[in-house]
Amino acid sequence: MGLTLWSPAKVNLFLEVLGKRADGYHEIQTVLQHVDLCDEIRIFEEGKDIAVESRGLPCPEGEENLAYRATALFLKTAGIRAGIRIRIVKRIPLGGGLGGGSSNAATTLWGLNRLFHAGLSAEKLHELGAQLGSDVPFFFGGPTMWASGRGEDLRSLPPLPLSWLLIAFPGFPVSTAWAYANLELTGREKSFRVKAEAEEGNFEPLLALSWNRFEEVVFRHYPIVQQLKVSLETWGARPALMTGSGAAVFGRARAREEAEEWAARLREKETIVFVVQTLSRPPLGPGGIGEVGPE
């Protein structure tokens, strides 16, 4: 018995880092958006232990994988003794700021709750997700949300109108811990107008104000990432922006054909590219893309 699930990526339409908190984390404000670049996760009740296997793009297996930790946490919380095998087809590059690991954790928690009919509430799943990572709770909601605190304080926003994006990944990861450690906070804050526009669903003004604080540090050390943004802006992407702490950059196109044209240009430079759509519904819910079906 098992389930096959889609585990989507995210992009940050805006990301501000306000300062370091007493608990050692940083206070952020960001607009998060689901896209249809997805890993495939298959969950089976099998054997006596937890096993995580992967293929596709590089991905840790075993206890280093967030899906493994999510499984262990779920079984302990639900009081279930079972062997679980998880097989991941990895399409979301790690270290790109696309939230693939967090998405896998949320999708695994949601899938296990469904597989075992455990009846854990949405609030409980969010609580478990927050123990695994600040981005994890977002993947239970969406498709467009305002996040603050460590990223776990979430507020739903009107969904972004369907958009085609080109995501470009330079082929190497950027460490989130490194990016935070090297960030020079200036005390400036760009989030007030962005939040107001987002809450009203005024996405064109919001996207005109798009900003990612991490670009300041990442571009200095990885000029190839900055060049990806410059290329997309030159070709007409509005906006072109790094997502998360990098290294992926995305650009919004006016149509799929335009995004495919940009992708073809970047593939000539051996850049890893994905042409994706934004999602208009929460992936792990009615009408979402999360569940493919039973095994």
Active site residues: 10, 135
Categorise residue 210: left if φ over 0, alpha if ψ from -120 to 50, beta otherwise.
Answer: beta
Please state, in angstroms and as integers, the Cα–Cα distance from residue 16 to each residue in 46, 48, 100, 169, 291, following that order. 43, 44, 21, 21, 33
Provide the β-strand partners of residue 7. Answer: 39
Please state, in angstroms and as integers, the Cα–Cα distance from residue 145 to each residue in 21, 42, 57, 111, 129, following that order. 22, 27, 28, 22, 16
SS3 55: strand
Q: How far apart are the first and last CA of the chain?
A: 6
Please state, in angstroms and as integers, the Cα–Cα distance from residue 285 to each residue in 98, 110, 154, 282, following that order. 21, 10, 17, 6
Supply 107's token pair. Answer: 């999708």
Please state, in angstroms and as integers, the Cα–Cα distance from residue 195 to each residue in 86, 87, 219, following that order. 38, 38, 25
- The set of residues, in sequence order, having a beta carbon less than 8 Å from that of 175 and lying 6+ positions away, is 95, 245
